[in-house]
Structure 1
Amino acid sequence: MILSRQKSLMFLLSGLMVLSCYQIYLFRIAGSYIPISALFMAMCIPFVKVLKLKDPLVVLFSMSLLLNAISILWSPVIGLWEYQMVFGYIFLITYAAFKEIQDTELAGKLIKLFLMASAVNGVLIVIFRLRPEIEAVFILNFLNFFKNPDRLGFDTFLNVWDVDKAGGVFDNANTGAALHLVCVGLVLLMKPFFRFFPFIALLIINVCAVFFSGSKSALIILVLSSLFSFSLYFLRPGSKERSLRWFIIIILLFISCILLYYINDFLTSSTFAKDTSATSEDRFNLISFAYDMFWQHPLIGLGYGGWQIKIGILGAQYGVRPDWPPHNSIIEAWATAGIFNSLICISIIIIILKRSIIFVHKSESIPSIGGVIAVLGAVIMPLGDPQPFLGTPQLAAPLGIACCYIYRKLRELH
């Protein structure tokens, strides 16, 4: 029996949701290892109708991919094209393919499938952090199945062996934490699709995964993005008792200031604060290096591998290690394909975040704040960590569907 067009596309996207959680690399294409999820996505291309892609997000993403493709012409290491090209392509095609799904509610089922699959990794993070010896066995015996073999040589700066961090099947704590930070938002967004106990269980698993990962930046972003998102909802235009809500928020801010004042000595002397300070100093040194490189090659950037060559030669002068990546997705976008690529990435972030905020304002339910938390987690983490644009590779497909889901819900509300 021949499957209908809709059922075939749903089958491919469902498989992609599971494969997105656990990237499996089996063979090389054009010099780089490609995950099976990318091949699944290639099978979705015939379902995309170009005439229906009248969306600024699609246009901007296509322009970014084009610039990344052109930058191969001046790249010293062509084999490093994978992150910018493949994962950007997965986000774009997923976003475009889901536009062909007639029933908007099916997006919820796809995201729900992704959340259930990723919950297993959340449990692994907790186990690995509590029992480092189990993580060591996993790294030695199963690492090759879920890690890009081209990146295994970078394990020293990816903190794969750090017993104070855990990322599950991902490269390091920050990549795993980034995924579960976004999952916290997606769980809230998909609350109507879950019964009470599965909803609470998934929420607890993902919050615990962020905490036990050991990622300082993810924990800070989780707290601040949650406060920001709840404030957006309670202070949205047209909400009743707005003055009372303002009063409550001001009281909470006042209490927070008092608490911070009394625990300031503890915070400044804690290991957490010292580690955060050291990390911040390293990031500022990287930005200083990037600033000088930018004025030497502003328009076309450094090409694939150009950053690695430059920092390998000059890194010591700036107090950074010679094998460090940019640790900032906007800087990485410039380094790969020039300033116009960075401007496009910033525009994409603004569009996605703007749509999520408008959805909160127009929605009458608290779960709508999940979209803002997910987007903030996806775009802020890569601003301080060695991750590709819009988060880890595992997030490319589910974020594409989530962004399209919010876009379609907004059109329904209009």
Structure 2
Amino acid sequence: MAITNNRMICRTVFAATLLTAPFQIFTSAIGQVYPSLTLLFALMLFLFYDVSKVLKTSLTMKTWAALVLVQIISLLWAVDIREGIREIVYSFSFFLVFGASMQESKRNLRSLTLLIIAYSVLTLSQSTLVIYFRLIPDVKIQYLQGHLAEIFTSPNTLIDLFGSERNNVLDEAKSGGFEVNANTGAAWVGMVGMVTMGLAIGLRRKLLFFVSLFHLVAVFFSGSKAASLLVCCLLALMYLTVYISKKFTPSRFAILISFVVLLTVAGSIVVAAGSATDFGQASSDTLDTRKLIWAHAAVEFLKHPILGQGFGGWSETFQAYAWRQKISDGYPPHDTLIRLWSQSGLIAALVGAAFMIAFSVEVLTLVRSGSRTAAWIGAGIWCGFLFVSIQGLGENWGLLGTLRMSPFIAACFALSRALGYYTSPATRSSVLNTSVRQIKYV
């Protein structure tokens, strides 16, 4: 329940949540934890917005609430309770940002759209760093070892980076920008690039189109093989989605999904065929490591199929296995659904899969609204979400990526929900249609 209706304070906290997300801005330690300003602002939204109403209208948010509930219950068998609490807090922050975004979209759709665009523009700093660090690796190392990095990356993460949990960003052929993992950095700018592309074409903004191109080009400088393939696949999917949007049926939706699968398989074949090249060989090596990790997950699943391993349980069981296989003992599960199962059990993994499906279905409601502008915006948001979700099946950032990504995804989802309602047949001819036209003047 909101404790104040002061619109200036509410909007300031909401805007601060989105606009600090690309940078995080880590604060002083609270115990052994360094909370970012973004997280603090996101949690403050509970004081200024009544977010409970979103559970009544969105199936996606109902599944998200169910996931959070399962995570809370799984604390009963957690090995590391602090890890569980941290995961739950991050999950709850997404719910708060979405609820606030929905309320803001009802008051002024144009303002929410401007905030999303502003986030994309601010993320140009990330894309620039990805390119710059790839071209001059020495500067990347100097940055990560300097005090400036402690503002934009958790000091605990930086300590682990040069200690027990060395990450791929230390490789000269990898670049993550603000992130210490190149794949994470690539997924972030790739997601923003897809959403921005949809907005730019839908709103017919040439400058915004070039912003999206810069984000997508930066992906190729990250050194992330999966992200580079996804850029090509999802751009094609975005165009195909808009092309069939006027006659959107379940069968055509199945064609879209099949198209994604075929492109992914084709990309894998290209990588396998090119294993003699540096790119192909690196891809094969990465996949071999993933197979070893997933083999351990399969063995553990047979031992604990229902409850999983509990928060922190993966680290305990993987160390001995990694020693036998002669790989790093710091590898996480590297799959979103395996990660959910490991932390909170089989129900969490199933609910997580349901969330991804529900999110896609609700966003595609906007695509089939009939408006060309809405179709491009919806397709961009969907492909941005798919960027994080698909790559997440081989990574370890969860359903919504890091805290740099999740507020943006929440705001974009709220935008799609609002536009989907305003452009529905029941409201298209009403005064609410004026709100839809507002975004064309961004």
**TM bucket, shorter chain:** 0.7 to 0.9
SS of the residue 2:245 aligns to: coil
Counterpart selection for 1:125 from 124, 130, 152: 130
The one-letter code sitting in structure 1 at the alignment partner of 2:101 is F
Matching residue within 290, 297, 303 for 1:290: 297
What is the DSSP-based 3-state SS (H/G/I as helix, E as strand, rest coil) of the residue aligned with 1:68? Answer: helix
Aligned residue in 2 for 1:375:
385
Asked whether the equivalents of residues 84 and 389 of structure 1 are also in contact (C-alpha less than 8 Å), the reply is no
Q: Give runs of aligned pairs for residues 259-408 of structure 1, distance below 5 A.
A: 267-317=274-324, 320-362=327-369, 363-365=371-373, 367-368=376-377, 369-408=379-418
Seen in structure 2, the aligned counterparts of structure 1 residues 264 and 309 have a Cα distance that, compared at 3 Å, is: closer
User: 2:23 — aligned with what?
Assistant: 22
Q: Does residue 97 in structure 1 map to residue 100 in structure 2?
A: yes
C-alpha separation in 2, matches of 1:310 and 1:145: 33
Q: Distance in 1 between matches of 2:111 and 2:423?
A: 17
How many percent of aligned residue pairs carry the same amino acid?
A: 21
CA deviation map 1:324-372 (0-9, x unaligned)? 1111111111111111111111111001112233322323236332112
Instruction: Say yes or no: does 1:12 pair with 2:21.
Output: no
Equivalent residue runs for 1:87-166 within 5 Å: 87-101=90-104, 102-141=107-146, 142-155=148-161, 156-166=165-175
SS of 2:27 mapped into structure 1? strand
Corresponding residue SS for 2:299: helix
Moved more, 125-134 or 185-194: 185-194
Map of 1:33-44 to 2, 5 A cutoff?
33-44=34-45
Compute the displacement of 1:94 (Å).
0.5
- Please list the CA deviations of residues 37-73 of structure 1 after superposition, one character each: whole Å capped at 9, or x if unmatched: 1110121112124245312222221221222223222
Letter in 2 for 1:329: T
Structure 2: which amino acid aligns with 1:312?
Q
One-letter code aligned to 1:279: T
Partner of 2:88: 85
Q: Which amino acid aligns with 1:11?
A: T
* 1:226 CA drift (Å): 1.4
* CA distance in structure 2 between the partners assigned to 1:229 and 1:165 by the alignment: 27
What are the superposed Cα offsets for residues 82-102 of structure 1, whole Å, 9 maximum, x if unpaired? 552232122111011112212
TM-score normalized with structure 2 length: 0.82
1:69 aligns with 2:72: yes
* Cα separation, 2, equivalents of 1:114 and 1:207: 15
Q: Distance in 1 between matches of 2:237 and 2:326?
A: 35
- Report the residue type matching 1:411 in the other structure: Y
Q: RMSD of the alignment, in Å?
A: 2.7
5+ residue gaps in structure 2?
249-254, 425-442
Match of 1:231 among 221, 225, 240: 240
Question: 1: distance between equivalents of 2:203 and 2:136?
Answer: 31
Deviations 1:200-255 (A, max 9, x none): 3312220121111111111111111111221122133439xxxxxx9xxx9xx9xx
Report SS of the residue matched to 2:405: helix
Q: Give the gaps of 5 or more residues in structure 1.
A: 240-245
Greater alpha carbon shift after TM alignment, 64-73 vs 284-293: 64-73
Amino acid at match of 1:12: V
Q: Which residue of 2 aligns with 1:413?
A: 423
Deviation at 1:197, TM superposition (A): 4.5
| Contact map agreement 1:286 1:318 (CA 8 A) in 2 | no
Q: Name the counterpart of 1:168.
A: 177
Q: 1:29 deviation in Å?
A: 4.4
Contact 1:31 1:79 in 2 (8 A): no
Shift of 1:193: 8.8
Residue pair 1:32, 1:82 contacting (<8 A) in 2 also: no
Amino acid at match of 1:103: N
| CA drift at 1:31 | 4.9
Q: Distance in 1 between matches of 2:171 and 2:228?
A: 18
Q: Which deviates the most, 177-186 or 30-39?
A: 30-39
TM-score of the pair, normalised by structure 1: 0.88
- Native 8 Å contact 2:388 2:400 kept in 1: yes
Question: How many angstroms does 1:319 deviate by?
Answer: 5.9
Q: Which amino acid aligns with 2:52?
A: V
What one-letter code is carried by the residue in structure 2 that aligns with 1:128? Answer: F
Q: What amino acid is aligned across from residue 186 of structure 2 in structure 1?
A: A
Q: Is the contact made by 1:45 and 1:93 (CA closer than 8 Å) also made in structure 2?
A: yes
Distance in 2, matches of 1:400 and 1:34, equals 20
Give the CA deviation at 1:198: 2.5
